[in-house]
Amino acid sequence: MASHRKSRPTGSRVAGIRTPALATAALTSVALLSQSANAAPEADDKPSLEEVEKKVGDLYRQAGSATEKYNAAKEKTAKQRKRVDTLLDDVAQRTQKLNEAREELGSFAAAQYRTGASAPDTATFLLADTPQDYFDQTQLMDRMTGRQKVAVDDYVTQQAETMEMRQEAAESLETLTESQGDLKTAKATVQRKLADARELLSKLTAEEKARLAAIEKEKQEEAARKAAELARQQAEQQAQAEQQQAQAEAAQQQERGSSSPSGSSASSSAPADSSYATKAEKALAFARAQIGKPYVWGAVGPGSYDCSGLTQAAWKAAGVTLPRTTYDQVNAGTTVPISQALPGDLVFFYDDVTHVGIYIGNGMMIHAPKPGTYVREESVYYDGESSIHSVVRPA
């Protein structure tokens, strides 16, 4: 009997099954393309050395910003803690006075009881939570002597003041808790930024670290060149100012025929400059003595410093009190152009004012740069001219 099954077309088998070589080649091509597609992003994901340098620099600056916030929170916490301690001491003293006033009233009540003059109203008063409401009743006030009324008034006053101080202490404790929270947050931020920077640097190869050091050296050389340029500019300005002053004095002498007026004029302007120079010399002597000590965020000496801790300590040695943070120090004096900076002036950096150094002249400063470094002399252009925010004369 003939079969009724239809024969399968042979064309499709030739294209789909009977050509294993073609299928294998196609699969191999897909696999290779897939591998190359996956490999390309991995190569592209690795940042360039310049990108690493910028990222690390940004992280250190962000850590510096967080450090100043930490310093501010720490200062606020210390002040608030002192305020709370004072309030609690005051509350304790007022509570003692309140107890003494209550005892005096109790003695009056006992005396009334012994003499038979005690009334239920008196006992009710002594047991009342708010005696002032009861004192307003004239029937009780009429039964009190002048001395008793004074005692009652004193009790009411002490009670009201004690309650007020307790409320103020509770609010201050709440503020202290908030300040401690800010302190904890700022500290965690600093630690996280520094850890991120260290992780980035740890991934560099020896060759990349060498290239990074070379880039840093180039930046230092450029910064030194800019410092020398500033030093020349300041020297020219100084020479020009001295020449103009000499010409003015000569003109005065010629006009008046005497040197005494010009002498008084010179002496009137000298004390301010002389006074500042004397203080600045003391501040700089202190700062120089700290060179080589490590940067530690939040530190104010004597073994280590952060940037604002160093400038604060230096000027304290000269008898000038500066605020703790860069945010406040930048407002603690007179702003001058960088071209007119004098030794002792404070040089602030970045738009958010998160770094500061103390100018020593010739375009150089002493500062505590960042974690992992030490207090050192360096060009004010160490991070580029655009990084300089302002110059402030603090005294």
Query: Which residues are the active-site residues?
Result: 307, 355, 367
Whether the link from the prior residue into 20 is cis, omega within 30° of 0, is no
> H-helix or E-strand containing 244?
helix 206-256
Q: Which two tokens stand for residue 187?
A: 């500290």
Contacts 24+ apart (CB under 8 A), 190-193: 190/63, 190/66, 190/67, 190/70, 190/297, 190/298, 193/59, 193/60, 193/62, 193/63, 193/66
Q: CA–CA separation, 390 vs 173, rounded Å?
A: 38
**Residue 165 and residue 91 in contact, taking contact as beta carbons nearer than 8 Å:** yes
Q: Name 57's Cβ contacts closer than 8 Å, sequence gap at least 6.
A: 383
**Residue 345 and residue 284 in contact, taking contact as beta carbons nearer than 8 Å:** no
Residue written as tokens 């309030």? 87
Largest CA-CA distance found in the chain, in angstroms, rounded:
150
Q: Name 331's Cβ contacts closer than 8 Å, sequence gap at least 6.
A: 392
Q: CA–CA separation, 69 vs 189, rounded Å?
A: 10
Listed residue (240, 391, 205, 368) closest to 295, CA to CA: 368
Q: Which two tokens stand for residue 20?
A: 């294993």
> What single-letter amino acid sits at 30?
V
**Residue 156 and residue 135 in contact, taking contact as beta carbons nearer than 8 Å:** yes
